[in-house]
């Protein structure tokens, strides 16, 4: 600290006046300013990043903004997104991740129109850019049920391999069922279609009607059976599908579902069992471990 004692003291009023004059002089010498480009309400440009889509834009109809898009632009998270993540109302309505995805994607796509795997890629990128690459979670050993602490590096995750050569021009996959020998064409469902199936099951359960989730999913993913695209044919076939055919269709569906390869491997310290499974992406996915 400097010692100001002994210096000439300028009365505050005079200093004020002097500063005002200086400011006026400065303003007068400046050319009128052009309005700032409206990047955001605050004028501050939020940095963005590109996320590679597991789907590579396949499976989206031509009218969708992500049709054939391999990468999409996303914003880094700000306090705005933090508000979304801490909103009790969004959490209760189960739309927290939907709101988050819609907030960070530059395209402002409807998050339910997206494929689940692409949604995962966006969420993982947002987590990585805001709370770091290291994601720690606790699960139970599949063998001895003891608590298992796992750690995954989100930056090292790859994609599930999908044979894109088998995807038709209609963005569908066509397979022959092993028992009935029917040729079934199916699409990869969006988050909205999966939600729809879940809601149908919940509604029936409430009404005391026997529910069948597999049926609800199959009737929504099947596009045609032996070339027949009629909904009544698809519904009746889905209802009466042979178990072996149904299981085959399920496995084919997951084989062709583009996604982030979100499997972890962790050896149990207690029993030595090598645990392998899917990393849970729950509400606490965005809690900072730091």
Binding-site ranges for Zn ion (CB under 5 A)? 141, 143-144, 268, 270-271, 273
Least separation in angstroms between residue 145's CB and Zn ion is 7
CA distance 99 to 101: 6
**Residue 19 or 271 having the CB closest to Zn ion:** 271
Q: Are 224 and 168 in contact (CB under 8 A)?
A: no
Least distance between Zn ion and beta carbon 276 (Å)? 13
What is the CB-side half-sphere exposure of residue 47 using CA atoms within 13 A? 5
Residues paired with 150 in a beta bridge: 137
DSSP, res 7: S
**Cβ distance to Zn ion smaller for residue 211 or 266:** 266
Cβ at position 138, least distance to Zn ion in Å = 13
Residue 284 C-beta: closest distance to Zn ion, Å: 23
Select 140 or 240, whichever has its Cβ closest to Zn ion: 140
User: Please, what is the minimum distance in Å from the beta carbon of residue 40 to Zn ion?
Assistant: 50
Quote the CA–CA distance of 115 and 258 in Å, as a whole number: 8
Cα 85 from chain centroid (whole Å): 13
Taking the complex as a whole, the smallest distance from the CB of residue 141 to Zn ion amounts, in Å, to: 3
What is the CA angle 85-88-94, rounded to 5? 75
30-63 exposure pattern, b = at least 16 Cβ within 10 A, e = fewer: eeeeeeeeeeeeeeeeeeeeebebbbbbbbbeee
Nearest distance in Å: CB 270, Zn ion: 5
**Three-state DSSP state, 205:** helix
Alpha helices in 86-167 (DSSP H): 88-93, 96-104, 116-131
Nearer to Zn ion, 106 or 144 (CB): 144
Closer of 147 and 213 to Zn ion (Cβ): 147
Residue closer to Zn ion (CB basis): 82 or 267: 267
- Say which residue the tokens 């199916």 belong to: 186
Considering beta carbons, is residue 170 or 270 the nearer one to Zn ion?
A: 270
The rounded distance, in Å, linking the Cα atoms of 288 and 131 is 5
């Amino acid at each position: 600290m400097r010692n100001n004692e002994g210096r000439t003291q300028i009365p505050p009023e005079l200093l004020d006046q002097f500063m005002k004059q200086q400011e006026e002089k400065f303003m007068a010498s400046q050319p009128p300013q052009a309005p700032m480009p409206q990047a955001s309400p605050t004028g501050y440009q939020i940095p963005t990043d590109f996320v590679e889509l597991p789907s590579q834009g396949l499976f989206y109809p031509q009218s969708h903004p992500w049709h054939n898009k391999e990468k999409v632009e996303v914003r880094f998270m700000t306090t705005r997104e933090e508000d979304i993540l801490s909103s009790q109302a969004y959490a209760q309505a189960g739309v927290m991740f939907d709101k988050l995805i819609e907030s960070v994607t530059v395209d402002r796509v409807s998050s339910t129109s997206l494929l689940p795997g692409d949604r995962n890629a966006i969420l993982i990128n947002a987590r990585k850019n805001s709370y770091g690459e290291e994601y720690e979670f606790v699960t139970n050993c599949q063998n001895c049920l003891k608590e298992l602490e796992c750690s995954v590096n989100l930056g090292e995750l790859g994609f599930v391999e999908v044979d894109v050569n088998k995807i038709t021009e209609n963005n569908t996959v066509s397979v022959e069922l092993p028992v009935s020998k029917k040729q079934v064409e199916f699409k990869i469902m969006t988050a909205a279609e999966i939600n729809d199936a879940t809601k149908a099951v919940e509604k029936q359960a409430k009404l005391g009607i026997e529910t069948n989730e597999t049926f609800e999913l199959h009737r929504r993913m099947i596009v045609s059976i032996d070339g027949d695209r009629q909904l009544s044919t698809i519904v009746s076939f889905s209802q009466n599908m042979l178990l072996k055919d149904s299981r085959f269709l399920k496995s084919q569906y997951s084989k062709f579902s583009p996604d982030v390869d979100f499997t972890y491997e962790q050896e149990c310290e207690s029993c030595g069992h090598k645990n392998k499974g899917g990393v849970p992406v729950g509400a606490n996915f965005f809690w900072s471990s730091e």
